[in-house]
Structure 1
Amino acid sequence: MTLAATGPALPLWIVAPPCALLMLILAGYVMALREADVPESRRRIRTMGSVTMMLTQPLIVYLFAIATPADARTFMLTWALLLGLLGMLVVLAMLDVVNNVRISTNARHEFRQELKSLEEDVRRAMAERQAQAEADQSAKPKLRLTDGECSEPNE
């Protein structure tokens, strides 16, 4: 019989500290995400992803440092649960991508609308300036002589 079949894959002292550290980092991320200025849909998706990752950590510790293949039913059930959670993470990641595309499309549309509005404002202001300049020009006295007038004063 092989070692993998009789005992855990790794010692607990190797597996537990990185998993505990990752859980603390994920918990901090979830706390920071609550205060961040992000769209609510992004906050919900990323919070669910982080919580799902936190749920995978105890399973990873159990599978690699505690469980043995000798108890095949528990071992396989735990692996199936872990793979299901990883599948959920993939689905959440795809949802996050679709959501980010939606958010960026909406932001781009709003930016284009704002740009059109600004262009219209600039055109309107330029037309008003041109009309004002023409009005000022027509209000000034004409100093040119017309064809019918004499150019010399003594004639």
Structure 2
Amino acid sequence: MFIDLKLEGKRVLILGGGVVGERKAKKFLGSNSKITIVSKDFTENLKNLSQKYEIQLKNTNEQSLDSLISNSDLVIAATDDENYNEKIVLNSKNKNILVSSVDNPFISDFIMPATKIIGDIIVGIGTGGKSPMMAKIIGERLKKHVTNEDILQVR
């Protein structure tokens, strides 16, 4: 099910500052949400994005996990540790906060599909978390078939 959430003013917490966390953060740019990314290390691109956009980068330890999640509206577990991601999911669910784990769609409340924005058209492609790369490839193929005439019909 594709749901386009209105996240303006919502507090989005991403745990993990690597390439996957970066990719997830980019999906929230332009949503006017308050993005916080927590990690021991951050990609250079995330550091640059935090200067350009309102993205807060925090170095923290596990002891503050409970507090971070409690102060969030949406949580993404994007660390390279499956057990820690599961802990993030359980903590979030106990607080009735929507959560997604990048490495386990079966325990997640939602999955972020690959999206292609073509003018005013947004296409979402999901594989149930099985193959994000294939979803991206299919999105690129679909994009080639949407014409300017199609886009004009939306307006």
- TM-score normalised according to structure 2 size: 0.21
Which structure is higher in RCO with an 8 Å CA cutoff and minimum separation 6? 1
- TM-score normalised according to structure 1 size: 0.21
Q: Which has the higher helix share?
A: 1
Q: Which has the higher strand share?
A: 2
Bigger radius of gyration = 1
